[in-house]
Amino acid sequence: MGKVRGNLLPPALAILFSALLCGIALVVSGANPLTAFGAMVSQVGEGTTAVDIVNSTGVYYIAALAVAIGFQMNLFNIGVEGQYRVAAVVAAVFGGSVALPPGIHALAIILVAAVAGALWAAIPAILKVTRGVNEVISTIMMNGLALGLAAYLIRDDVFGELRGNNIRTPEIPSSGWVPGISLGGSGTIFGLVFLAAALGIGYWVMMNRTRFGFELRASGESSTAAAAGGVSAKKMVLVAMLLSGAIAGLVSMPEILGRDHTYNLNFPAGIGFSGIAVALLGRNHPGGIAFGALLWAFLDKSGLALDNVGVSREIVTIMQGAIVLSVVVAYEVVRRYELAAEQRRVGRQLGTVEPVGGAA
C-alpha cells in the first residue's frame, strides 16, 4: 500500500495544487477557471487535437526516456535539448542527400540520428570521465553550441536551401518517409509513435532484466557500493550518457520522417527541457513517464482552445512549471514522511524506547 501511496499520491496532489494555483491566477486576471478547464477538456474531441496529443505524447516520451536513463544513475543530462537538435539536422541532411531503397532509407536516417545524438553527448561524457567536468555545466554549454551548429548547417551556402521566408534542409525523398496511420479528418498518427512505445519496453527490460540496468541503478543508489561491487563508475557514466544521447537523437524522428521531411526554422524547441519535467513526473518509470508525457501533450494541445474563451494560453506553461516544482516537492515530502514512519516502525519492533519527536 505504501508503494501506491508513495508513487501515486504526490503527482495527484501536485496536479491538483497546480490546477488550483492556475485557477487562482485566472480568477485574479478576471477569467472563469471552470470555463477554461472545460474548454480544454472539450477541445480533445475537436478536429485533430486527439491525434496531435498522441503524436506529441510519443515525442515527449522519447525525450523523457533519454533523460531518465541518466537520472537512474544521478547523471543530469540537461543536454537532451542540444542532442536532439543536432541529431535532427544531421539526420535531415543525410536523409535528403542519399538515395536508398524504401525502408532501408528510413532505417538509415534513424540510425544516423541516434549516432549523431550519441556523439554530441559523448563530448560531455568524455569531459566528465577524463577531466572531471560536471555534466550539468558542459551539457548546458553544448546546448548553446548545438543551436549555433544547427543554424550554421542549414545556411543556404552550407547544406540548407531557401524556401520563401524559411530556410530548410533538402527534403527527404519519399523512400525515407515513415507512413502513419491516417484517421481521415482527425489527423494522422505518426508511425514512429510505435518506436516510442518500443523504446519504453526496451527501457523497462534493460533496467529490470539486464545486468547493465542493475549496475546502472546500483550506481545511482550508491556509487560507493556499486564501485565496491566491481562496477566501473567511469564506464557507467560513458555508456549511460551515450545511450541517453542516442535516444535523445530519436526525439524528432517521428515529426521529421512522418510529417516535415526536412529540418527548418520552425523546428520545435524546448522538448529536451519538457523531457526533464516529464521524467521527473514519471519518476523514471516507463509507465509513469507515459502518463507524464500524455499530461504534457494534453496541456500543450488543449491549451490552444483557451484563446477561444478569452484566456491567454500561456497559463498552460505556468501550470506545467508549477506541476514540475510541486511534484518534486511532493515526492520529497512523502519520502521523508515514509522514512520517519519506517524508523518508528523499526523502533517499535526492536522494542527500543519510543523515539523522541523530530528524530527523523
Residue in 101, 131, 352, 356 binding other proteins, rule: CB under 8 A = 131
CB of 144 to other proteins, least distance (A): 4
**136-165: contacts with other proteins (CB under 8 A):** 136-138, 140-145, 147-149, 151-152, 155
Query: What character string, x for contact with other proteins (CB under 8 A) and - otherwise, covers 301-330?
Result: -----------x-xxxxxxxxx-xx--xx-
Distance CA 292, CA 65 (A): 11
Grid cell for residue 60 = 515527449
Residue 73 as a binder of other proteins (CB under 8 A): the answer is no
Q: Which amino acid is at 236?
A: M
Query: What character string, x for contact with other proteins (CB under 8 A) and - otherwise, covers 29-68?
Result: x---------------------------------------
CB of 80 to other proteins, least distance (A): 11
Closer CB to other proteins, residue 112 or residue 127? 127
CB of 258 to other proteins, least distance (A): 27
**169-228: contacts with other proteins (CB under 8 A):** none
Closer CB to other proteins, residue 101 or residue 148? 148
Q: Which amino acid is at 213?
A: G
Contact set with other proteins (CB under 8 A): 25, 29, 76, 78, 123, 127, 131-134, 136-138, 140-145, 147-149, 151-152, 155, 273, 276-277, 280, 312, 314-322, 324-325, 328-329, 332-333, 336
